[in-house]
Chain A
Amino acid sequence: MSDAMNIAKAVSKQEAWSRPQWLQQWQQAGLDRFRETPWPTRKTEHWKYTPLKSLTGIDWSLPEPKTSVADGIRFDDWNAIRLNIVNGELQNPGDLPTGVSLVRLSECNQEQAERFLAALEASRNDFLFDTANQAFIQDAYWLNVDPNTQVQQALHLNYVTDGDDVLSSSQIWINLGVGAQVTVVETFSAGEQGRCLVNANTAITLADNARMTHYHLMLEEGDAHHIGRVTAELQRSAYLDSFHVGIGGVLKRKDIRVRHCGEGAELRLNGVYLPKGAEIIDYHTCIEHEVPHCTSEEIFRGIISDSAKAVFNGRIHIHKDAQKSLAEMNNRNLLLSDQAEIDTKPELEIYADDVKCAHGATIARLDDTQLFYFQARGISRAEAEVMLSFGFINELLDSLQDEAVQNLLRPLLATLFAHQRSELTRHLL
């Protein structure tokens, strides 16, 4: 049982909720598992480099219903459909495009509920925080895109957490029918009120020939923790382009797991993490090539400043029958200070004999020759460092499909290196 995290207050609140009995039972099962799961320590393989001390000794509660909250993230000049999920609860969604529907788990009929729960079961990782998610979500949402529907407007899931010592849990399942196509942006931000733990799960399932562009941007600053997972299952010739950003907060940990379940599936999985101060950001990724003829391309880059810490664990698993797999993973890290730390571990596990796989990880500082080139052209050392650091991740931003997302991220990330000194970023923006 996990005593380390005090959840008594949260439990008593949760017990008072009114919901269908089957849902109550399912959540109770989550709570039971939570109590049986030991607290992850340095000896727990998956949490070895990720200290969780900042979560202990706090009386975690569940959020109060909110009438007004922080606005979250807004995109300029983009006609995306904005869906606000405040403290784990979906606000009035308004009109959705034809072929797109949103179903609440609490309102499912029996057949829907069975399908929904089966999808959630399939995405479980049984980490402690996964069991907590099951126990404490106020509801779960099923975003469905009908077969052969090409959704023109992007869907923006604007997650906002607001409260003090609150545990804010969310679970969304995004399901694309055969040949469906959509762009989904998930942004996470926190109000300025106080300490929070965001426990956010995203499950994605893509049927044959479905195509999805996905952004998962963890942008909470201040006294925020964020732990959760993104899972995806790709059927025949499905395509997923998933881009991740981790900045700010006390601690961030995301487990990303993608399964190639149908031949010809394609994955592009990129991300950047930029911890500063004493922040910790941890990405664990795992790509399962279960069938032949699938490809995955993965690039993660990190810039670690001050005494911050980053963890990257990238696993690619090629199953025995997954011949003709093509998998590439690359992780590059830039350390901006002597106290900064990165623990990076690429893992390739290959059981098929006719595959093409490559992986690499590097750790470096800013390059003296490049810095001198800037200075020899009159640019100050300080501005050169900012431009060069930003350039390191800008290569990935340049490859994004949506200009609106680039326009949101560029200033947000550039200013991180400049310590709010706008004269150092003026040539980037």
Chain B
Amino acid sequence: MLSIKDLHANVEEKSILKGLSLDIKPGEVHAIMGPNGAGKSTLGNVLAGREGYSVTGGSVQFNNEALLDLDAEERARKGLFLAFQYPVEIPGVSNMEFLKASVDAVREANGQEPYSSVDFIKLAREKCKAVNLPADFLKRGVNEGFSGGEKKRNELLQMMLLEPTLCILDETDSGLDIDALQVVADGVNALRSPERSFIVVTHYQRLLDYIVPDYVHVLADGKIVKSGGKELALELEKDGYRWIAGESA
């Protein structure tokens, strides 16, 4: 479903991704680990189409389409979802308005009827419950005054409503205590299905105890230097990232 070939990308003239390749099949969960500055977050932002990240080489096929030709909103409508490391606060726009606008846009692009307001409110409340957010969070400004854990649960809520085929979790564990981590991981696990794939970007092995990956990749200096099964994460936890530099050099 996703095929990244020799991807090169710059941020503000600085080369960050330097020939990254990765293949993901439907239903697979891939963890991307690596030291700070390796390009983990850049990968998520490049795939989601954020401005300021310029691709200088390589290609990305997403469900047999050239992903990099699409605008950010088109990517989202085609089933790509980036869960932000730092979800943005948008005062004055209610969570409910935002969610409805988002779900309507994605459904319309896929030839589905938009939900009626009544049905949508019902659905949103249901999903709120599933991620353990009180329903009055729907009335508040998007992420406005939410705690770190609440923001991440709000991302999860969006994911549940949009039902994407590829979810990229960018350092979803950062700023979460164990209880919040458990809630988010349970939500993600509930969304796992044979059609839906995940890229879990994380610095620490901890998250992978809860969201168990099929593959683990180590990203260092802009490319994947080692791949393996879930046991690779445990090695990294034990030995750190330092040996990677030695091995790849």
Shortest CB distance B112–A (Å): 12
Question: Which among A369, A372, A378, A391 is the interface contact of B102 at CB below 8 angstroms?
Answer: A378
Q: Mark B47-61, 1 if CB is under 8 A from A, else 0.
A: 011111000000000
Check A376–B72 contact: CB distance below 8 A: yes
Check A392–B92 contact: CB distance below 8 A: yes
Check A377–B92 contact: CB distance below 8 A: no
Check B97–A427 contact: CB distance below 8 A: yes
Check A373–B92 contact: CB distance below 8 A: no
Query: Given A368-B51, A369-B88, are A379 and B93 also a contact pair (CB < 8 Å)?
Result: no
Question: Which among B87, B92, B102 is the interface contact of A379 at CB below 8 angstroms?
Answer: B102
Check B93–A387 contact: CB distance below 8 A: yes
Alpha-carbon distance A31/B194, docked complex (angstroms): 83
Shortest CB distance B120–A (Å): 11
Alpha-carbon distance A395/B91, docked complex (angstroms): 7
30 A-B pairs whose Cβ atoms sit less than 8 Å apart in the complex: A372-B51, A374-B73, A374-B101, A375-B72, A375-B73, A376-B48, A377-B105, A377-B106, A378-B105, A378-B106, A379-B73, A379-B98, A380-B73, A383-B101, A387-B93, A387-B97, A387-B98, A387-B101, A388-B93, A390-B93, A391-B90, A391-B91, A392-B92, A393-B92, A394-B93, A395-B91, A395-B92, A395-B141, A427-B98, A427-B101
Alpha-carbon distance A376/B76, docked complex (angstroms): 6
Shortest CB distance B123–A (Å): 16
* Interface size classification for chain B: 20 to 34
Residue of B nearest to A377 (CB): B102
In the complex, what residues of A have CB within 8 A of residue B52's CB? 368
Q: Mark B80-92, 1 if CB is under 8 A from A, else 0.
A: 0110100110111
B42, CB-defined interface residue at 8 Å = no
Shortest CB distance A285–B (Å): 22
Q: Which of A410-429 contact B (CB under 8 A)?
A: 427-428
Q: Which 4 A-B pairs have the closest CB atoms?
A: A391-B92, A378-B76, A377-B102, A391-B93
A153, CB-defined interface residue at 8 Å = no
Check B92–A375 contact: CB distance below 8 A: no
Check B76–A391 contact: CB distance below 8 A: no
Question: Which among B50, B73, B90, B141 is the interface contact of A381 at CB below 8 angstroms?
Answer: B73
Alpha-carbon distance A13/B209, docked complex (angstroms): 87
B109, CB-defined interface residue at 8 Å = yes
Check B100–A427 contact: CB distance below 8 A: yes
Question: Which among B71, B82, B87, B92 is the interface contact of A394 at CB below 8 angstroms?
Answer: B92
Q: Mark B106-138, 1 if CB is under 8 A from A, else 0.
A: 100100000000000000000000000000000
Interface-centre pick from B48, B98, B101, B162 (highest chain A CB count, 10 A): B101
A79, CB-defined interface residue at 8 Å = no
Alpha-carbon distance A87/B204, docked complex (angstroms): 71
Check A373–B88 contact: CB distance below 8 A: yes
Shortest CB distance A231–B (Å): 31
In the complex, what residues of B have CB within 8 A of residue A387's CB? 93, 97-98, 101
* Interface size classification for chain A: 20 to 34
Q: Which of A338-386 contact B (CB under 8 A)?
A: 368-370, 372-381, 383
Alpha-carbon distance A398/B142, docked complex (angstroms): 15
Check B90–A373 contact: CB distance below 8 A: yes
In the complex, what residues of B have CB within 8 A of residue A370's CB? 88, 90
In the complex, what residues of A have CB within 8 A of residue B102's CB? 374, 377-379
Check A427–B104 contact: CB distance below 8 A: yes
Query: Given A387-B97, A427-B104, A428-B97, are A375 and B71 also a contact pair (CB < 8 Å)?
Result: yes
Alpha-carbon distance A344/B48, docked complex (angstroms): 38
In the complex, what residues of A have CB within 8 A of residue B50's CB? 372, 376
Question: Which among A379, A388, A393 is the interface contact of B105 at CB below 8 angstroms?
Answer: A379
Question: Which among B49, B71, B98 is the interface contact of A377 at CB below 8 angstroms?
Answer: B98
Shortest CB distance A408–B (Å): 18
Check A380–B90 contact: CB distance below 8 A: no
Question: Which among B77, B87, B92, B142 is the interface contact of A378 at CB below 8 angstroms?
Answer: B77
Shortest CB distance A241–B (Å): 20
Shortest CB distance B175–A (Å): 17
Residue of A nearest to B87 (CB): A373
In the complex, what residues of B have CB within 8 A of residue A376's CB? 48-50, 72-73, 76, 81-82, 84
Shortest CB distance B62–A (Å): 15
Q: Mark A314-334, 1 if CB is under 8 A from B, else 0.
A: 000000000000000000000
In the complex, what residues of A have CB within 8 A of residue B48's CB? 376
Alpha-carbon distance A369/B89, docked complex (angstroms): 10
B165, CB-defined interface residue at 8 Å = no
In the complex, what residues of B have CB within 8 A of residue A379's CB? 73, 98, 101-102, 105
Check B141–A378 contact: CB distance below 8 A: no
Q: Which of A95-143 contact B (CB under 8 A)?
A: none
Shortest CB distance B145–A (Å): 12
In the complex, what residues of B have CB within 8 A of residue A391's CB? 90-93, 141
